[in-house]
Amino acid sequence: MTPAPRAVPTSEVNVTPMLDVLLVLLIIFMAVTVQVHRSVDAVLPEECVGVCGEGSQIVLEVLPGPTYRINQTPVSASELTAHLHTIYDNRPEKIIYVAGDRRSRYQDVVTAMDVAKSAGVRVLSIAPKSSTGR
């Protein structure tokens, strides 16, 4: 009786388990990326005709530079957070209208919205275009 032939070891790498791990990691990263989406919630107002609002609205204008105006009062970038805190700390309705000048940078408008959120504002609303060409 002859002995059974021996199995010869091969030096090839079995890539199937590595591909399985790679595909599982790819699916996990795709699922996590969808969950990490960051956004800024904003309310777009309807165009009003005649007298609009109650008169107690807070409008934050973002001008080039960046410079800011809160209800036509100029506010520097360094004072913006403190000024918004003084307005909204004792205010029950925490709504602000943000109006960006057409010449101001998008990043400056988003920064102003972020500062407003950190000051306690709960609802951000984008102010509609006025007849002054904003």
Q: What is the pLDDT of residue 19?
A: 92
**Measured between alpha carbons, how far is 27 from 36 in angstroms, rounded to an integer?**
15
Q: What is the pLDDT of residue 119?
A: 86
**Measured between alpha carbons, how far is 61 from 100 in angstroms, rounded to an integer?**
6
Q: Domain 59-126: which topology?
A: Nucleotidyltransferase; domain 5 (3.30.420)
Q: What is the pLDDT of residue 43?
A: 63
> Strand runs (DSSP E) across the chain, as ranges?
59-63, 67-70, 73-75, 95-100, 123-126
Find tokens 């307005």 and name the residue: 87
Local confidence pLDDT in tens for the 134 residues of the chain: 677 777 777 778 888 889 999 999 999 999 888 777 666 666 665 665 555 555 578 888 888 887 899 988 898 888 888 999 888 888 888 888 888 888 888 888 888 888 888 888 887 777 766 544 44
Q: What is the pLDDT of residue 1?
A: 66
Q: What is the pLDDT of residue 72?
A: 87
